Chains A and B, each alone.
Chain A
Amino acid sequence: MSRLLRRPHLKALPLLAVGWLVAVSTAGLLAPWLPLPFAAGVPDLLHVAEPPSWAAAPQHWLGTDLFGRDVLTELLFGARQVVLLSLPATVLAALIGALAGGSAGFWGNRGCRLPLAAGLVLLAAIWWLIALPGGGQVACLLLAAAALAWWAAPRLLWVGRSAWPLPLDSLFQAAVTLLGAVPRLVLVLALAAGPPLSTGQLLLLLVAVAWPEPARQVRAQMLQVRTLPFVEAARAAGLTTGRIWFRHALPHACRPLRATVPLSLAGLIGLETTLAFLGVGRPPDVSSWGQLLSMLRQEPGAWWLLVSAGGALLFTLLALQQLARSNR
């Protein structure tokens, strides 16, 4: 592929991809302030599902959709949805994935040990939060025990040495296997069988479904990185484990993310579009590309919807793939 890119006219491909993505993002962010002929969500009831008209008086440059809304406006506000929903979801998923995968890969099952005091505090917090029988009194008892342990740690050897290992890797594997047990679409459909979701809830759902992928990548990379000599050197230099992990090992382990985050974003955009197609999750006054495409089922002759929304979706996904490819 690199030899192909040396051909002059194809060197422009990554630039085109980045340019398109920047255009989509700026259009999405600036959409409410752009001077558009029609406002978002306002149906032009006399021109429902009409092809693009450039000559006649109400000029719908890209036509209207099944509710009479102007497709150009819907397209720009749909880009806004992509930027405001899928992009933060991907970034959050990458962050959470990096932290989870990084810690699981670095410490494994025995690396991280909780001192007795911290462990007792954690137990007290859990007991109080889920309101097990005993409630406040048992929590206070545990807190008192934790204070005692913290006081006794430097004095009594056996208290200072006892620490509980946190099985981070097992927890990680369990969580990843749980979320990977069913395909994403099926899981989201099953959870959508309940009450309708708000934007925040949908964002959380997308993050919950998307974080295992970057987490697995970071964990695999971290398993290699932690054996590298500079980590041992840092430990010999006397840096604390936490600092080594956060400032030295983790940035190296996150390298594969540069290539996979665009693909992850593409996957989330595809998932969100399919959800909108199946009619799950968003009220009708929120513009989205998937909703425009879902109208093709009722109005199969609406080629302008396919060309505009389908084209925008296609180019965005292709641009993200190109970005991933050039980052590899």
Chain B
Amino acid sequence: MRRWLLLQLGRAGLAAWATASLVFILSRLLAVGTEDAMLSSGNDLQVRTASTSAVARQALRQRLGLDEPVFYVTRISRNSASWRWHGTHNQYHHWLAGLLHGQLGWSYRDGQPIGPKLRTALVYTLPLAGLAAVAATLVALALGLVLAGGPLAASLTSGRAALHLVLSSLQGIPVFMLALGLLFLFANPDALDLLPAYSLADNPDGLLLGAYLLQLIMPVLTLVLAVLPELALPLAAALRHELRADYVTTARAKGVPAASLLRRHALPNALPPLLTSFASLLPSLLAGTVVVESVFSLPGVGRLLAEAAAAHDYPVVVAGVLVTAGVRLLGLALADALYALADPRIRLAL
């Protein structure tokens, strides 16, 4: 079991490295005009801007390290069949070496190291994603129990059918629709004017916890609504499947009350599918934050990634992909650990 877990982690780690390398190489090969982006004013083409000379551009390329070859080997020309070995003086090697030392590189936009940027962004994303994950799990458990009904309940009363329909339709709605809907429902002076749209964080006493939490309500709600169906529906299906098993009939015959039956007998057996979806929960949350942070103006990892993709800031994009893959690794490890906790058979086999 432990070997299998290590194998899974190793495979996922390899996949993370391969994806990041792929994105890195593609982005460097297609990197057109990054120097132009840094040299031009960025807003519009000003008439009065002096023309940028080739020397200035060359100086900028050297500073960014863009004049080195991309990979260890490159093809010399399209027609002839010859490759050239560059040794370790290539961008990929520098990136990889930096990665092993814990450096993620420098952003093209402002030349700042990406590590601190990501760390600052994570400070805003981690509470958001963490709260959303915990809240979604709890609500999914509750809804799953409700949807499953009891051992003797009709398979789907109209109330439960309506809930099922609502959850299924939530699964289909893209995240941005949920985000926009909540924004205009709760923060609109036209509708319910309850929550702040944007709160000023500049306070001499430091960030007010109250204001910060208020600001987080809508994004967390959006994320919870977005991931809830994929957690609750498989759990409800698994619970209903368990309720048809023989041991449930035995427990019912023994006189165990319905609620306790669900929670203490059926639920632990129905957990593995939930844990499977839990493994993909964290990456889905991260994908959701890309949209949610853009709509609610939160400076987190998702918004960093979206803006970097729009601005062709390739180092940040590659770092974002690495972070996402790392989060997936974390999710996998967590799911496997929880498998061991939930299922004594696996635990005993360890």
Chain A residues within CB distance 8 Å of chain B: 1-4, 131-136, 173-174, 177-178, 180-187, 189-195, 266, 270, 273-274, 277-280, 293-294, 296-297, 300, 310, 313-314, 317-318, 321
Within 8 Å of chain A (Cβ to Cβ): is B97?
A: no
Minimal Cβ-Cβ distance residue in B for A301: B190
Q: In the complex the two chains form, is A177's CB within 8 Å of B12's CB?
A: yes
Task: Given the known inter-chain contacts A183-B324, A195-B30, please indicate yes or no for A270 contacting B15, CB distance below 8 A.
Answer: no
Q: In the complex the two chains form, is B172's CB within 8 Å of A314's CB?
A: yes
Q: Which of B282-325 contact A (CB under 8 A)?
A: 283-284, 286-287, 290-291, 294-295, 305-306, 308-310, 312, 314, 317-318, 320-321, 324-325
The interface on chain B, measured as residues whose beta carbon lies within 8 A of the other chain's beta carbons, has a size of 55
Question: Which among A181, A182, A278 is the interface contact of B291 at CB below 8 angstroms?
Answer: A278
Question: Which among A1, A182, A193, A274 is the interface contact of B308 at CB below 8 angstroms?
Answer: A193
Question: Which chain B residues lie closer than 8 Å to A296 at the CB level?
Answer: 180
Chain B residues within CB distance 8 Å of chain A: 11-12, 14-16, 18-19, 23, 26-27, 30, 32, 75, 80-83, 154-156, 161, 168-169, 171-177, 180, 184, 188, 283-284, 286-287, 290-291, 294-295, 305-306, 308-310, 312, 314, 317-318, 320-321, 324-325, 328
Question: Which among B23, B32, B161, B284 is the interface contact of A183 at CB below 8 angstroms?
Answer: B284
Closest A-B pairs by Cβ, 10 of them: A317-B172, A131-B81, A135-B81, A183-B287, A194-B30, A181-B15, A185-B287, A177-B15, A193-B309, A183-B283
Q: In the complex the two chains form, is A191's CB within 8 Å of B23's CB?
A: yes
Tell me whether chain A's interface is mostly helix, strand or loop, or mixed. helix
Name the distance in Å between B317's Cβ and chain A's nearest Cβ: 5
New contact pairs (20) apart from A3-B154, A133-B81, CB-CB < 8 Å: A3-B155, A3-B156, A4-B161, A133-B83, A135-B81, A173-B11, A178-B15, A180-B15, A181-B12, A181-B18, A183-B286, A183-B324, A189-B309, A190-B317, A270-B174, A274-B174, A300-B180, A300-B188, A318-B169, A321-B172
Name the distance in Å between B331's Cβ and chain A's nearest Cβ: 11
Question: Which among A2, A178, A297 is the interface contact of B180 at CB below 8 angstroms?
Answer: A297
Question: Which chain A residues lie closer than 8 Å to B295 at the CB level?
Answer: 297
Name the distance in Å between B131's Cβ and chain A's nearest Cβ: 19
Pull 27 A–B residue pairs with CB atoms less than 8 Å apart, ordered by A. A1-B156, A131-B75, A133-B81, A133-B82, A135-B81, A136-B81, A173-B11, A177-B15, A178-B15, A181-B16, A181-B19, A182-B321, A183-B287, A183-B324, A186-B287, A186-B290, A186-B324, A190-B309, A191-B23, A193-B310, A193-B317, A274-B175, A293-B176, A300-B184, A310-B177, A314-B173, A317-B169
Question: Which chain B residues lie closer than 8 Å to A293 at the CB level?
Answer: 176-177
Task: Given the known inter-chain contacts A189-B309, A314-B172, A321-B172, please indicate yes or no for A184 contacting B11, CB distance below 8 A.
Answer: no
Name the distance in Å between B243's Cβ and chain A's nearest Cβ: 14
Q: In the complex the two chains form, is B325's CB within 8 Å of A181's CB?
A: yes
**When chains A and B are docked, how far (Å) is the Cα of A65 from the Cα of B82?**
54
Question: Which chain A residues lie closer than 8 Å to B11 at the CB level?
Answer: 173-174, 177
**When chains A and B are docked, how far (Å) is the Cα of A187 from the Cα of B287?**
10
Question: Which chain A residues lie closer than 8 Å to B172 at the CB level?
Answer: 266, 270, 313-314, 317-318, 321
Question: Which chain A residues lie closer than 8 Å to B75 at the CB level?
Answer: 131
Question: Which chain B residues lie closer than 8 Å to A192 at the CB level?
Answer: 309
**When chains A and B are docked, how far (Å) is the Cα of A160 from the Cα of B174?**
57
**When chains A and B are docked, how far (Å) is the Cα of A4 from the Cα of B15?**
44
Q: Which of A3, A174, A177 has the most CB of B within 10 A?
A: A177
Name the distance in Å between B230's Cβ and chain A's nearest Cβ: 11
Q: In the complex the two chains form, is A1's CB within 8 Å of B155's CB?
A: yes
Question: Which chain B residues lie closer than 8 Å to A278 at the CB level?
Answer: 176, 290-291, 294, 306
